[in-house]
Amino acid sequence: MEEIIKLHYVYLGYSLLAAILAIALLKAAGTNMQKIPGRFQNAMEFALDGLRGLFSGALGKGNEEHLPFVMMLFFFILISNFLEFIPGIRSPSAATSITMALGVLSFFYIQAAGIRAHGVWGYVKHFGGTIMWLAPLFFIIEIIGELSKPFSLGMRLFGNVYGEDQILVQVFTAMGHNIALRIGMIPLQVLTNILQCFTNLVQAFIFPLLVSAFIASMASHSDEEEGGHDAPAAA
């Protein structure tokens, strides 16, 4: 048990490294901005513009204030997913502590966004559903649904990154303990790394997109209460 706790301290250190790298990257993108952008600034402008359009579309009309949190999630998860390509460093997303912490953080943020938009009584009434006399049943269903959201968010990210890591380990140890055969499996690992790039990007995409869809369903449900708890309003 102590080894597991020490292992999670190691992952905590790596996540701190990921946070520092993310801050440094965005800071470097924001300083010395010229009118005619160089390559790095051009790439960052393209990425940020596309992401802003995507997340604003998912967040809905009046929810622009939640955009910094969602972008923070995207960049932190992106950098911490790609951190495993550095030899000797493990990705912090492969630890349940980091990913479930992100899930719980997003959960509290979503509830706070709902309370800020509707007030406490409006937020509680939101769980009641539309039909009055079915309210107790709706309460239970909605609350269970809400509580399952941070779990599914965290486990999705953890499962994808940890699973890909384990695929790499299995590929490496597939031929037994012979060291020459193990080194010979490294080209196969390169192919798996390419698949990992795709999975990293998609998972870094999906987490903030789902969080913004949840924020949209919590913070602004004026007339429509369709079952669109997951559907983004893609711009």
Partner 1 sequence: MSAAIYFGLVALGAALAAPLAAIGAGIGEGLIFAAAIEGVARQPEAQGRIQILMFLTFALVETLFILSFVIFFMMKGLLPTGDWHSIAQALNGVGH
54 binds partner 1 (CB under 8 A): yes
Q: Which of 110, 210, 215, 216 binds partner 1 (CB under 8 A)?
A: 210
49 binds partner 1 (CB under 8 A): no
Least distance to partner 1, CB of residue 159, Å:
4
Nearest in space to 55 (alpha carbons), one of 227, 211, 230: 211
Two structure tokens written together for 204: 């870094």
Phi, psi (rounded to 5 degrees) for 91? -75, 130
Q: Which of 37, 61, 122, 152 binds partner 1 (CB under 8 A)?
A: 152
Q: What is the DSSP string of 83-138?
A: GGGSTT---GGGSHHHHHHHHHHHHHHHHHHHHHHHHHHHHHHHTT-SSGGGHHHH
Q: Which of 25, 72, 111, 159 binds partner 1 (CB under 8 A)?
A: 159
Q: Which of 13, 38, 163, 184 binds partner 1 (CB under 8 A)?
A: 163
Nearer Cβ to partner 1, position 52 or 156? 156
Question: Would you say how long the chain is, in residues?
Answer: 235
5 binds partner 1 (CB under 8 A): no
166 binds partner 1 (CB under 8 A): yes
The position carrying tokens 């559903």 is: 129
Least distance to partner 1, CB of residue 211, Å:
12
Burial letters 27-38, b for 16+ CB under 10 A, else e = eebeeeeeeeee
For partner 1, the binding residues (CB under 8 A) are 3-4, 54, 57, 152, 155-156, 158-160, 162-163, 166, 202-203, 205-206, 209-210, 230, 232, 234-235
